[in-house]
Amino acid sequence: MFPEEMYAIVPDALDSATCDRLITGFAHEMDDGGLVQGQTATHIRRSKITWFNEEQEPVVSRRIIDLVADVNRNVFDFMLTDFAEDAQIACYSGDQRGHYDWHSDVGASDVARRRKMTLVIQLSDPDEYEGGALQLNPAGHVFDAPMTRGTAIFFPSFVLHRVAPTTAGLRYSLTQWVHGNPFR
């Protein structure tokens, strides 16, 4: 059942109006993005981030839950238990050469070590920025995720990935981690 490519793509996960609303609603609440251990290192990550929960965005949260259930049932079949972290909206600015270097989402903290599935939804229209590709390297071959607005990509949280430097405009994305007992 596990895909050879180690990712799954869902077009039209969110519509353009919802993407616009998320960008407009949360852009003013952003702080510098840190690393998994809460430290900042601009040579590794340069972005602005904010978080939202189910109470703030019940419709988007319900959509994420439904997408995760469908993709996990049909593609990954992971033992998932919860959403232990709020969803994150990130902004990568071309003026700052916004990026996030190669990393996996599994970390040393109690919550980060339980990350099993990562979901990223492109919120920006690809005509609004240059560079900024989300790239996955699941098995030694780099793959550029689709840049189409509203498209979701799912992958195991241990997969190496990055956001290449954004060279112009603003690239917004939504990331949600899904948790369970650590992989064995």
DSSP sequence for 17-56? HHHHHHHHHHGGG-EE---TTS---TTTEE-EEEEE-TTT
Tell whether 57 is covered by a domain: no
Give the pLDDT band (50/70/90) at residue 4: confident
- pLDDT, one tens digit per residue, over 65-91 is 999 999 999 999 999 999 999 999 999
Is residue 92 in a domain? yes
Residue 122 counted as domain residue:
yes
The pTM for the full model equals 0.93
| pLDDT, tens only, 135-171 | 999 988 999 999 999 999 999 999 999 999 999 999 9
Mean pLDDT over 97-116 rounds to 92
Q: How many domains does the chain have?
A: 1
Are the C-beta atoms of 94 and 170 separated by less than 8 Å?
yes
**Looking at residue 113, what is its pLDDT?**
94
Interhelix angle 58-71/16-26, nearest 10 degrees:
120
| Average of per-residue pLDDT across 96-104 | 90
For residue 41, pLDDT beyond 70: no
Has residue 80 been placed in a domain? no
Would 6 be classed as within a structural domain?
yes
Do the domain assignments include residue 44?
Answer: no
> What average pLDDT does the segment 108-120 reach?
95
Residue 38 lies in a domain: no
What's the pLDDT score for residue 47? 87
Strand runs labelled E in 24-151: 31-32, 45-46, 48-52, 87-93, 99-103, 115-122, 129-131, 134-137, 143-144
Q: How confident is the model at residue 32 (pLDDT cuts 50, 70, 90)?
A: confident
Find the domain containing 147 and state its range.
1-29+85-184
Q: How confident is the model at residue 39 (pLDDT cuts 50, 70, 90)?
A: low
CATH number, domain with residue 158:
2.60.120.620
The answer to whether residue 46 sits within a structural domain is no
Q: How far apart are CA 95 and CA 158, in angstroms?
A: 30
pLDDT of res. 45: 80
